[in-house]
Amino acid sequence: MNSERCPCGSGESYSACCGRFISGAEKAQTAEQLMRSRYSAYVKKDVDYLVRTTLPKSRTPDLAQNITEWMNAAEWIRLLIIRAEETTVDFVAQYRLNGSEQQHREHSVFKKENGEWFYVGEA
């Protein structure tokens, strides 16, 4: 079993945590699991997963390009979950951009459709 730690900060191995969702082996069961796996996908530069887990109605024509630009510009450092509720997650993602450490704070909204969680957007 791969012992690489998950980028989401759970303390679990990547394969036992977010890797199982990103690989498609399992579906996230909560909004927080989806949020953590999406952060890990940014770290791992998995654009397809990020697009796939965005609610279809929220996908813009340039979504993949915007995600790619954002993930390639930033070096992701850590994720801090402030509060997770059934359909929302408040978090802070620390990253380095052009050598300067910064924070991205967000109140994310998620929706479950047909048994699958999706990222809707920032509230």
CB 50, CB 42: distance < 8 Å? yes
Query: Mean pLDDT, the chain, as a whole number?
Result: 96
**In this model, does residue 117 exceed pLDDT 50?**
yes
What confidence score (pLDDT) does residue 3 get? 75
pTM of the model: 0.94
**Tell me: domain 19-122, CATH 3.10.450.50, correct?**
yes
Query: pLDDT tens digit string along 9-61?
Result: 999 999 999 999 999 999 999 999 999 999 999 999 999 999 999 999 999 99
Strands (E), the chain: 74-84, 88-97, 100-113, 116-122
